[in-house]
Structure 1
Amino acid sequence: MQFNTKLIPFAIAMAFAGSASAQEIIKIGHVGPVSGPSSHLGKDNENGARMAIEDLNAKNPQINGKPVKFVLQAEDDASDPKQGTTVAQKLVDSHVNGVVGHLNSGTSIPASKIYSDAGIPQVSPATTQTKYTQQGFKTTFRIVANDAKLGGTLGAYAVNKLGAKKIAVIDDRTAYGQGVKDEFVKGATKAKPGVQIVAKEFTTDKATDFNAILTTIKAKNPDLVFFGGMDSVGGPLLRQMKALGINAKYMGGDGLCTDALPRLSGDNAPESVVTCAEAGGVSPELQKNMDDFRARYKKKYNQEVQLYAPYVYDSVMVIAQAMTDAKSSDPAKYLPYLANIKYQGVTGLIAFDSKGDIKDGSLTLFTYRNGVKTKTEVIK
């Protein structure tokens, strides 16, 4: 297998060079929804984890002078909190050395206590709900910006850049959807106190018919609709908005901001309508690394990166780097090194604050041009 060794830091490459005999097996757990409405995002994440594991093992890795082999234990939480805690306990019982995941805040937050109780580090590449890192768990980390930054930035952008004056908000009642919606409202009203939130509606993360709430919203004549939730609901919602003649701008967070949105909305995601944000982003000087990763991913899986595969890749690599620094795969021994990591990854420099949030997290704003997700700007 060929891969770009520039994506693996020199320290890891040197520490991992060695014999493959008498290998210690290091289990990395990954959890995401590989079934259900968000399965395309969960599989994207799992693919990123597998790429990282394969890249590490291709270097014949060593830790503390002893050969090791990284093994991925991938589990499906189906975006369901109950299933999320079940598979979290399964990973604990399997004695994994670290966990990457979950995708959804609603599954990641309850699972985080299980990992904390077991002392197993959890690095999420996608969980944005602020509560995730505010529980006091020393094992909990994320490498993307949280909802306070994501939703707040979108709220300010809606009123200051898009000129929104009358806003309707909808969420899917999940921890993520409600959280990003609440932060959006805070950001919008703080940026322009006179802005009107003319409607507050909610649906579910499995809904398909939005006629009732959209009819209510249409009567309020908003110039912008914000949706807190995933693309599997947000796409059909946009399609039904247009069918009802709601000609408002449409905004959402990272769950909405996928390559699949045009397809899910019936190819109805023109540039003049949609603005969304991804809870991450690279500055221009790091764009080549991201482009190289995306090209490798497409060659390997014959599809484009959907959303967070690069952040999953970096999450695995961050755990591996911490183990290398600690000279141990024992969670109790490498956890302090993970908390103090400084790692230059595909997605940028990764370092954590005292709560486990990424320092100086970026956001990337996107629109859609000719049905293609297109970057507009990166905001620090």
Structure 2
Amino acid sequence: MNKNILAASVLAATAGLASSQDIVRIGHVAGITGPVAYFGKDTENATRMAIEHLNARGTTIAGRKVTFQLVAEDDAGDPKQATSVAQKLVDAKVNGVIGHQTSGTTIPASKIYHTGGIPQISPSSTSPKYTQQGFNTAFRTIANDVQLGQALGRYATGAMKVRRVAVVDDRTAYGQGLVMEFSRSLQQQGGTIVAREFTNDKATDFSAIVTRIRANKPDMVFFGGLSATAGPMLRQMKQLGMNVRMMGGDGICSDEIFKLSGGTMADGQVVCAEAGGVRGEGKAGMDKFRADYKKRFGIDVQINAPYAYDATMVMADAMVKAGSAVPAKYLPFLAKANYKGVTGPVAFDARGDVRDGTITLYGFKGGKRSLITVTK
């Protein structure tokens, strides 16, 4: 081969290698289609915004400027589709993954990422099972259901003076886990579970469930599931003359629940808790994030966008500190993260749960969420 041709070939190959090293690909997976697509788009948008900010500031790794790219995938909230998408991202050799959205999709997908050695940070999955599997690649930036359920149980029996509660879950990992932790907390505080019912996350008719619950005369209904199910349930509770309060986790903690109830939800009827929240001096940073998000996308933050933003930023920060975007090299730095984010300090315990996770309690007035308190 001609020396000049050989030299040109080597140069081209080297340039291609340098180019691939200068691209950092971050996967994001959530349900972008389906009844709760607004939750999935919320975290996808925030991940995109974080990547835009990383690129705008000219992030360097080991002294070389890199370009972050978003690889967005849709699992439609379906566990089977979640594992398929996870394998696709592993095969594509992404540098890290933000997601999935629900516990039911995050848990099966996490096994695939662990096998592939790809770090995963969920900004929204709260089931304790996710980080109890022993996978050193699994992290989350929000409090888990143990913390959430305990806070809700204390608030129900304390501030709300509730004693008799009917519980309903949607048979998902998230719904079942949340109901279990809330029930445990409620009973520790002296409350009583007077009825246990379950539905599924695609159900639309709750008349039989509501009729059975009504016969037990509860002070409140606790629902483990999402607003796409809780909204219609509230509407049918109203139709059947059952006007008691409802409580739930972050799955129902969106203005969408009022729309899905057909406008039947009364002021103060629903109390929900979001895993996360800031207090004091952190509020200014969160307010700025929400304003920046709305300016960029033209819509308000739903729930988990700030936690997706911080998940992306803490992952990138670990790469910078490690001097590498190679998963095996930056993973130890991610495990030791100490990052100041818009949601507060982000650091992980030995399991991958966020340390000192906060809980924010909300009520609703005029169909809009209103802050009650931030607690731990």
TM-score scaled to structure 2, two decimals? Answer: 0.94
Query: Where does residue 257 of structure 2 map in the other structure?
Result: 261
SS at match of 2:68: strand
Unaligned runs of 5+ in 1: 1-19
The RMSD of aligned alpha carbons is 1.3
Unaligned runs of 5+ in 2: 1-17
Amino acid at match of 1:180: L
Query: Where does residue 215 of structure 2 map in the other structure?
Result: 219
Instruction: Tell me by how many angstroms 1:187 deviates.
Output: 0.5
Instruction: Tell me by how many angstroms 1:372 deviates.
Output: 1.1
Instruction: Tell me by how many angstroms 1:198 deviates.
Output: 1.0
SS at match of 1:188: helix
Q: Does 1:349 align with 2:356?
A: no
Amino acid at match of 1:75: E
- 2-structure distance, mates of 1:296, 1:269: 30
Amino acid at match of 1:344: K
Query: Where does residue 62 of structure 2 map in the other structure?
Result: 64
- Superposed, 1:1-380 pairs within 5 Å as 24-192=22-190, 195-380=191-376
Amino acid at match of 1:152: Q
8 Å CA contact 2:154, 2:189 repeated in 1: yes
8 Å CA contact 1:253, 1:276 repeated in 2: yes
- 2-structure distance, mates of 1:66, 1:301: 30
Query: Where does residue 11 of structure 2 map in the other structure?
Result: none
- 2-structure distance, mates of 1:334, 1:269: 47
- 1-structure distance, mates of 2:113, 2:20: 29
Aligned residues: 359
SS at match of 2:180: helix
Amino acid at match of 2:264: N
- 2-structure distance, mates of 1:345, 1:178: 30
- 2-structure distance, mates of 1:125, 1:21: 30
- Alpha carbons of 1:153 and 1:336: their partners in 2 closer, same or farther (altered >3 Å)? same
8 Å CA contact 2:186, 2:192 repeated in 1: no
Instruction: Tell me by how many angstroms 1:118 deviates.
Output: 0.9
- Alpha carbons of 1:85 and 1:23: their partners in 2 closer, same or farther (altered >3 Å)? closer
- 2-structure distance, mates of 1:371, 1:37: 19
- 1-structure distance, mates of 2:21, 2:56: 14
Aligned-residue sequence identity (percent) comes to: 56
Amino acid at match of 1:93: D
Instruction: Tell me by how many angstroms 1:272 deviates.
Output: 2.4
Deviations 1:267-307 (A, max 9, x none): 23333211100000011211111111111111111111111
Runs of 4+ residues deviating >2 angstroms: 20-23, 267-272
- 2-structure distance, mates of 1:283, 1:333: 34
- 2-structure distance, mates of 1:208, 1:22: 48
Instruction: Tell me by how many angstroms 1:23 deviates.
Output: 6.7
- 1-structure distance, mates of 2:208, 2:255: 28
Instruction: Tell me by how many angstroms 1:48 deviates.
Output: 0.6
Amino acid at match of 2:134: G
- 1-structure distance, mates of 2:125, 2:174: 8
- Alpha carbons of 1:248 and 1:333: their partners in 2 closer, same or farther (altered >3 Å)? same
SS at match of 2:66: strand
- Alpha carbons of 1:344 and 1:205: their partners in 2 closer, same or farther (altered >3 Å)? same
- 2-structure distance, mates of 1:38, 1:362: 24
Deviations 1:189-229 (A, max 9, x none): 0111xx22111000000011101100111111111000000
- 2-structure distance, mates of 1:276, 1:268: 17
SS at match of 2:193: strand
8 Å CA contact 2:233, 2:261 repeated in 1: yes
